[in-house]
Structure 1
Amino acid sequence: MTLSRRTLLRNTALAASFATMPFSLRYSLAAEDTQPFSYEALIDRARAMAGVDYEAPYRPRPEIVQQIDYEQHGKLKFKPQRSLFSGSPDTEGAAAYPLEFFHLGQYFTKRVKMHLVEGDKARLIAYNPDLFEMPEDSPARQLPSDAGFAGFRLQEWHEADDWDHQDWVAFLGASYFRAIGAAGQYGLSARGALINAAVPSSGEEFPDFTEFYIAEQSDPNAPVVVCALLDGPSITGAYRFKLWRGLDRDKGVTMEVEAALFLRKDIERLGLMPLTSMFWYGEYGRERLKDWRPEVHDSDGLAMWTGSGERIWRPLNNPSSMRISAFSDDNPQGFGLLQRDRNFDHFRDGVMYDRRPCLWVEPLSPLGKGAVQLLEIPTDDEIHDNIGAYWVPADPAVAGKSYSLHYKLHWLNTEPYEATNVAQTIATRIGRGGQPGKPRPANVYKFAVEFDRPPVMTQIPYGVFPDVNVTTSAGSVSRAFCEPVPNGNVWRASFDLEIMPGELADLRMYMSLDGKPLTETWLYQFSPDLVIF
């Protein structure tokens, strides 16, 4: 059904009718707001921008925006009835997933231009304060008409009962974006690019998605296509996201990402396909004594599937000083930050850490040689993202260089391609070393690593115990053995590590039988300052 302007003016239920209006009536865009658009043209723009000086994005009335703090920003709620694409299936302009926008605020100070893509044309979506619930005394009322938006989000399928208060993907702040997983919960984030994180000489740079181009999608099982322009002092880029939600919410969210990146300047540490998460403490670590909850984290480990086929699990740390670990590889098959612990009793928190999504990166084109890097930053609270994981190419990132990326992001309850021939790590525990009933030796720490049982381990004859293969870069290992855990489908491998204060040990361990690996490879970086007894 198409509503004419005359019919609209006669309609006394304006608010109820607004959601069924065609886009052109709801936003009344002038002809000069329309421009030709294609992803290829966006790549050309990004390439050209890399050859000229950087211009920072527009910041409207900074002194006013700074007054829109966390509390004030929370009161600026987009009105669901003003969402684009929220009509019924037979309504002109309706699409599967309603589109809403975020307001500027103290933590989101830069204008981001939003466009609607219709065929080979794009139309600018103008800012309007009437799109938001806005208290009369809100500082936002003092912003100019060209203030613009901070970001956007997509709501659930427009015929779902909860679409107006349940979103499934959001792009907000610099080049950050995130999605809910199969349990319907937000958690960690992804980014467009990571520039010089943990580089003291320059400091980290945060390039911005400065423009978005969003195409409507009327089929809920087809992807929503979003293009974005990236710009920063050292880098430019064009991105095309294909966002799959579908009607089966248990499948989580999948994103196919294409990106063309161009370097304005030399970059000491260029992180591609970066992920960002939070780890305060798990079932191990000194921070357990600082809070009443058993564990607090969005992710508990870095999983890697190497180019040679090895499966690796690296539990996360909250170190006493910033650390970067590099895992060299050639054409890795994937990596991700995962939340393997799904037991609510291990968190006991109403914010549902047990439902936080895993995020797996699947390269769709070869990455070549380089390293997956893991960045761990000290934190004393759960409000800080202190974990990063990303791919760093082996060749230097120098001005004039370009990169072409094609990969998938899987937001799920676990990694999408679980190994069936080796057991997964499900817990890492650390305590005092030595033997019960005897004086505990100084500077000795016991590690107990638990693995779930794949079929190959359940077939081990009674009384046969696999080998525990442990190596360390510092200190010495003793008392390595394994055993099945009573009343559980679990095997536990244990060993003692003697290490002096101030030393740092890179540990590597897996279980095997007759030379054949039974478990994924467990890696851990340990220093005595990580624990308190």
Structure 2
Amino acid sequence: MWPPHLSRRRVLSGLAGLAGVTAAGLPPVRVVAAPDETTFFARLVDRAAAKANATYKAPADDLPEVLADLTYDDIRDIRFRRDRAIWHGESPFEVHLLHLGHYLKRPVRVHTVENGRVTPETYRPDLFDFGRTGIDASAFGELGFSGLRLMYALNDPTVMDELIVLQGASYFRALCAGAVYGLSARGVAVNTARPDGEEFPAFTELYVERPAAGAESIVLYALLDGPSLAGAYRFEVTPGMTTRTTVQARLFARRRVEQLGMGVLTSMFDFAPVDRAGVEDFRPRVHDSQGLSMRTESGEWLWRPLNNPDRLEVNVFQMPNPGGFGLMQRVRQFDRYQDLEAQYHRRPSAWVTPHGDWGDGAVILVEIPTPDETRDNIVAFWKPAIPFEPGLPLAMDYDIDWTLDGPRPERAWCEDTRAGHYGLPSTELDETMRRLGRKWVIDFVGGPVRNLCTPDDVAVVASVDGGRMDRPVAVLNDHTGGVRVFLDTVANGHGPMNLRCHLARDGAPISETWTMQWRPPAAA
């Protein structure tokens, strides 16, 4: 897969002018203060504050020509020598360093920390196997690295697996037991999908704290810098069936940031049964993430299936002090994907749980058109309700859980969504109805709808904005042990149609709320 920060930047540069984002209210801004900050992290926070008070200097990206000319496959062929790993054979965790080249042009300085003492890691050609590239690195000097990878015996106590990678801007991604790499997280998002263009601040320095013998977690630190802001981060990574990254972020603005994104997740959605228009592919579905799940402060759960739209789409979910949100891969059966190589059924979900009161704000979902699965085109994050201003530092702490079995509501939840021909398949539709009409098929499973005797035990509560809806139909689904809901809808013209649906009993919700935005294709 192409690196997400590059392909997304290219797409956004051409489409950002089409987006509009809803404004929100005004929360208080929290200052930088946390009683559990270590002495080292406190020093890093001070450095970030000092950077924000100074003029931004873009890091050099003048790589040696032989590295700049590498292809994507070439850079993948340059491999760190495992026997050179930091703490190799001395710790439950090892550190591998990653080479610069191709799109990875800006160096990151990597350090280790032990008992408060910081040791820089120096670039040496003998750290790497250059494979078929045949590169002679003897003249590179102190080149730096593109990032780092942490290793841990995640699946087999005798085998060191990849656990987390930090590489490219402020991107990082982690694995839980049994998973393969899929979606990514970011330290911060700045003006994503806004007409004035997105900014990509970068981790310029990374620090890894040596874990104690037998440690079950490891701590990393990062210094962030960009034209509009600077920041310091502390990551505590705890591997397992669910791998948790506990994040402490301390940010300082150089200039006003209209839209700041925190708890940022980036993923890929190409197609699924909800959106197969024009797709000719033997695979039933191709995506790293299936939908956006959200839990409000009041305990309501929302589910928004993802789309691959034909234009940039931005959805805003007003959500003060969110209970959590995440990009989830709920369908886990191989036969629902049929991809032996990509193994989409093993791509992890990522769930963000805020610590403390985040105040007023909204969860933002950005969907970008993509022609194929090589580009990440989905972004989700929480946006504070007011712009980020110089002189008002921000402290935000949260967990990201990387899991194959993400949090689900206590109520029934939406396992899958399908869409297609309005009405019965035999119904003859004119051109307008073929374009504006849409049938939605939603499978609710689990909780109160598990193994019902009759669909009359539940009521379908559905609404539409920007269109009309026929009377909803609910039937039992013996294959899932749940309830299948059919919604036949017709959009008003070419504008977006917004749908909501949940199941109820005696007037009270017994399922999460399914929500969807759909825009009809343009007339021929």
Shift of 1:148: 0.8
Match of 2:263 in 1: 273
Q: Does residue 1:55 correspond to 2:31, yes or no?
A: no
1:322-337, aligned counterparts within 5 Å? 322-337=312-327
Letter of the aligned partner of 1:261 in structure 2? L
Q: Structure 1 stretch 139-148 or stretch 172-181: which is displaced more?
A: 139-148
Distance 1:119 1:311, change over 3 A: same
TM-score, normalised with respect to structure 2: 0.87
For 2:103, the equivalent position in structure 1 comes to 107
Bigger Rg over Cα: 1
Structure 2 counterpart of 1:464, from 433, 445, 456: 456
Give the aligned length.
481
Offset at 1:457?
2.3
Unaligned runs of 5+ in 1: 1-35, 88-93
1:432 paired to 2:421: yes
Measure how far apart 1:414 and its partner are: 2.7
Counterpart in the other structure of 1:161: 158
Q: Following TM superposition, by how much is the alpha carbon of 1:296 offset from its aligned partner in structure 2, in angstroms? A: 0.3
Q: Higher relative contact order by CA 8 Å / sep ≥ 6: 1 or 2?
A: 2
Kept in 1: contact 2:237–2:243 (CA 8 A): yes
Q: Within 5 A, what are the aligned runs for 1:197-216?
A: 197-201=192-196, 203-216=197-210
Q: 2:296 aligns with which of 306, 313, 334?
A: 306
1:219 offset after TM fit, Å? 4.1
The answer as to 2:112 corresponding to 1:121 is no
Cα distance change on mapping 1:261 and 1:131 into 2, 3 Å: same
Q: Percent identity?
A: 36
Q: Which residue of 1 aligns with 2:191?
A: 196
Secondary structure in 1 matching 2:45 = helix
Deviation (angstroms), 1:37: 7.2
SS in structure 1 of the partner of residue 470 of structure 2: strand
Structure 2 alignment gaps of length 5 or more: 1-37
Q: What's the CA shift for 1:295?
A: 0.3
SS at structure 1 position matched to 2:44: helix
Deviations 1:187-224 (A, max 9, x none): 100001101111222x1111110001111113455320
After superposition, the C-alpha distances for 1:260-315 in whole angstroms (9 at most, x for unaligned) are: 00111111221111000000011121456232211000001000000111000000
Listed as ranges, the matches of 1:514-533 within 5 Å are: 514-529=506-521
* 2:4 alignment partner in structure 1: none
1:450 is aligned to 2:443:
yes
CA contact (8 A) 1:447 1:495 kept: yes
How far off is 1:435 after superposition?
Answer: 3.6
Question: Helix, strand or coil: the match of 2:230?
Answer: strand
Q: Say if 1:141 and 1:301 are closer, same or farther in 2 by CA, change over 3 A.
A: same
Give the conservation status (yes or no) of the 8 Å contact 2:300–2:512. Answer: yes
Q: Is the 8 A contact 1:72 1:138 kept in 2?
A: no
Q: CA deviation at 1:118?
A: 1.0
Q: Secondary structure at the match of 1:141?
A: coil
Give, as a single letter, the amino acid of the residue that structure 1 aligns with 2:79: K
Moved more, 150-159 or 258-267: 150-159
Which has the higher mean CA deviation after the structures are superposed, 234-243 or 178-187?
178-187
User: Is 2:482 the counterpart of 1:490?
Assistant: yes
Q: Describe the shift of the 1:378–1:438 C-alpha distance in structure 2 as closer, same or farther (beyond 3 A).
A: closer
- Aligned pair partner of 1:342 in 329, 332, 335: 332
AA aligned to 1:161 is T
Q: Amino acid of the residue matched to residue 96 of structure 1?
A: P
Per-residue CA distance 1:224-243 (angstroms, 9 max, x = gap): 01010000011100000001
Partner of 1:173: 168
Q: Which moved more, 1:370-379 or 1:208-217?
A: 208-217
- 1:272–1:398 distance in 2 versus 1, CA, 3 Å: same
The answer on whether the counterparts of 1:68 and 1:140 sit within 8 Å (CA) in structure 2 is no
Distance 2:389 2:252 in 1: 10
1:263 is aligned to 2:284: no
Q: 1:150 aligns with which of 134, 146, 161?
A: 146
Are 2:219 and 1:225 aligned?
Answer: yes
From the superposition, tell whether residues 486 and 461 of structure 1 become closer, same or farther in structure 2 (CA, over 3 Å).
closer
TM-score computed with the length of structure 1 as normaliser: 0.86
Equivalent of 2:179 in 181, 184, 187: 184
CA distance in 1, matches of 2:167, 2:319: 32
1:317 maps onto 2:307 in alignment: yes
Q: Distance in 1 between matches of 2:81 and 2:464?
A: 57
Once residues 302 and 104 of structure 1 are traced to their aligned partners in structure 2, the CA distance between those partners, rounded to angstroms, is 33
Question: Which amino acid in the other structure matches residue 515 of structure 1?
Answer: G
Residue matched to 2:350: 359
